[in-house]
Amino acid sequence: MDLYPSIDIRAGKVVRLYQGDYDQETVYGDDPIAVAKSYEAAGAPWVHVVDLDAARGDGSNRDLVVAVAGAVGTPVQVGGGQRDGSLLDAGVRRVVMGSVAVSDPELVERLAREYPGRVAIGMDHRDGEIMVRGWEQGSGVTLDDLVQRYAAAGAAAFVVTNIAGDGTLQGPDTAGLAKLVAATDVPVVASGGVGTLDDLRALAAIPGLAGAIVGKALYEGRFTVEEAVAACAA
């Protein structure tokens, strides 16, 4: 299982939200490039970046995201407001399509064909319902709906966030993730809730789980990137 240490960017700063709530933000720094370089130096196989302003539709950190991707040799995966392949053309290895995968599936399917292996589907959900627009709106679409549609469309991966656990450090939804991994051949990357190395070991024990995104636990010093990489390989 690969570790995806996360850099969530809002107004150019490194932040974390609690359960996706923009009013519950903690700022952890003002240099996303330095954070990405530290992840690379620690041996992370990926760097995961989220543009929170773009996700909400009230701004963009595109230039900074491109700079992050250009500053490291480690592959960079980017989510948050992605609606085209421009970041893929600018050096980002993989984009995560979230809201647009619900609102314009034909566009996402076309991009998956144009950029094989580089378009992942973001599945951010509350109790199985996909949430959109920075997690602030319900979609009426279920997790299973997206799995069925995009497994057939050539998705590179499913990035799955149980919003109830995101930013809480209370542990990941291992049961739900195990069920999803067993139901699809598309690689699944888990996101949300990791607070300890034992949480990572529990995820790594799910047969076939491809990766785990970790943010707040790293910022708060619960463990190091080196320790997390080792736990993912256990």
Respond yes or no: is residue 31 known to be catalytic.
no
Tokens of 96: 């995560």
Three-state secondary structure string covering 214-234 = ECHHHHCCCCCHHHHHHHHCC
Tokens of 118: 């580089």
> Which residues have a Cβ under 8 Å from the Cβ of 120 and sit 6 or more positions away?
77, 79, 94, 95, 96, 97, 155, 156, 157, 158, 159, 189
Q: Which of 63, 84, 89, 124 is catalytic?
A: 124
- The Cα–Cα gap between 197 and 201 comes to 6
DSSP 3-state of 147:
helix
Respond yes or no: is residue 124 known to be catalytic.
yes
| In contact, 71 and 93? CB cutoff 8 Å | no
Tokens of 40: 């690379």
Q: Which residues are catalytic?
A: 8, 124
